[in-house]
């Protein structure tokens, strides 16, 4: 198992646009939520749907997980 100091992940919507310049975020629900809430790439891609995704994440945690990539990019 890889052991990072902190478990990090990367926003998939940032990766699509920024590639390897996408900034890692800490793999915690609240951090991911905060990132997505402020992520212009996420909002650009999903528009109104983005509100639903963020609104549903308390109910369904996996709805956020779909938007992050937990593997380190090569």
The binder of Zn ion chosen from 39, 54, 57, 68 (CB under 5 A): 39
Sign of CA dihedral 52, 55, 57, 58: negative
By beta-carbon proximity to Zn ion, the closer residue of 11 and 64 is 11
By beta-carbon proximity to Zn ion, the closer residue of 9 and 14 is 14
By beta-carbon proximity to Zn ion, the closer residue of 1 and 48 is 48
Residues 9-38 that bind Zn ion (CB under 5 A): 11, 13-14
| Helix H or strand E encompassing 69 | strand 68-69
């Amino acid at each position: 198992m890889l052991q990072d100091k902190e478990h990090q992940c990367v926003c998939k919507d940032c990766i699509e646009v920024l590639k390897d310049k996408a900034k890692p975020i800490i793999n915690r629900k609240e951090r991911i939520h905060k990132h997505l809430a402020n992520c212009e790439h996420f909002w650009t891609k999903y528009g109104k749907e983005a509100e639903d995704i963020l609104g549903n994440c308390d109910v369904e945690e996996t709805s956020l997980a779909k938007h992050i990539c937990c593997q380190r990019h090569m």
